[in-house]
Structure 1
Amino acid sequence: MSDLNEFLRGRGVPEDSISIMEEQKIDSAVIALMDDAALANYIPSYGDRIAIFNFCKSKQPLSQRKQGLLQKLREKMQNRKEGPKENTSHADTRTRQTKKQKTSRNVEIGWIHHDGKITKQRF
């Protein structure tokens, strides 16, 4: 008996659902790849699905989790590199250049003055 089946029985998931998952060979590794809508076909309760996702994530070896995070980071970096090239126009580059050339800032300081009866805002 696997840890996942014990966990599901402990959560009170119906035996029918557990047996269908065993027949379909859905284990912790597969659940880690599934989305909520796909798992909803097997486990009807939303709380059980969240608990199962958390259980499967905790059972995944740390090195695999780190590799998954690194892969997601690489994909995000790749998307950022590809994104500006597709959407870049001549007008966009001019506005970026003017923003970079601006070297001064205006700072306004204000306070609320209260002298007992009258409250005034000062700049």
Structure 2
Amino acid sequence: MKGDKIDRRVICFMTDEERAKYIPSYGDRLAVVSFCRQREANFDKEGVLNRVRQKIEARRTKRKTPHGERQQTSVESSGLMARHKNTNAVKSKRRIEVGWLHFQYDDFYQVRSKMEAGPGI
């Protein structure tokens, strides 16, 4: 097959009689055609993944203006890959609640602390 320059793309276009010259067993021919079609579908997925990777890379490589200000890339300005700001990370105070799972009568139930009005901790 290498001598005749037959690769997976050509196999998909060949008729069953043409494939029979190279692969005598019918089941093997079906398996080869199925394998070749799956590989083609994976190449389509790889193309999509490459485009997404390029967009992410364009977003990461941000150009700077001469004054040190950040200039928006075309991907950012279009809003395709924009992320929301994590407001929880900015908070200076946290609220922690203590509780446990209690096992009683062949079942678990949740025990939580009572809500008391008081200063935020």
The TM-score normalised by the length of structure 1 is 0.33
Higher helix share: 1
Considering Cα pairs closer than 8 Å and 6+ residues apart, tell me whether 1 or 2 has the greater RCO.
Answer: 1
The TM-score normalised by the length of structure 2 is 0.33
